Structure 1
Amino acid sequence: MHVTETEQTESTGAGEPKNISLQAVVTSPKRPRKQAAAHAEVAKGKNPKPVETKADAVLKKLRLAKGITIEGLIEATGWQPHSVRGFLSGTVKKKLGLLLVSEVGKDGVRRYRLDTKVKC
């Protein structure tokens, strides 16, 4: 903790002494960044393993010819159902501009897949 003196002047009179108070200023200790360790490994010449993100896993499963259900994506990512649907509409369709096909099979289960032939 760091203590500093602050001066505060009152506007009641010109000849009055200044009000001096001590305030405690809390400063957080410097913590190493998580990225620093990763950069240190690269600098040492170690080959870090490529990390597959959850988004990569979803896209990989969507590229399957058979497709995948919402429940399958929930199990693969650990996301809530609304997060999976939001990722499909917001990221896959809008940001990436991929054509997402939704089909109900003979078993009555809706499956999602990417149409690899067309890109929006």
Structure 2
Amino acid sequence: PEENIAAMKYGAQVIGGELKAALLDGDTQNYDLDHGFCRHPIDEDCRSGIEVKLGQASILNHIRMLLWDRDSRSYSYYIEVSMDELDWIRIIDHSNYLCRSWQNLFFTPRVCR
């Protein structure tokens, strides 16, 4: 079923990133330069990022996320998944694209935590 399992009511938590509280609150309307979003610093070794840990192992095939769209900035990104936070598999790679606003990302079904 289509359900957002990256929600606090299902035990999901943000364990990496800055301003974590806004990421899983479900509010996609009320955000500005001071609140309502999550971010991460950009470093040379690409070790920092935003990390969400699901409440339980789940089969995923779709991620929907909102990138900042209140100005003309665009972003490049990739998404990796893991079961143990040690071995990571890249499921989305938009590192060579300029992206903004809503991202509807579909991929081969995969068990993730």
The two structures have a TM-score, normalised by structure 1, of: 0.22
Larger radius of gyration: 1
Query: Relative to total residues, which structure has the larger strand share, 1 or 2?
Result: 2
> What is the TM-score when the length of structure 2 is the normalising length?
0.23
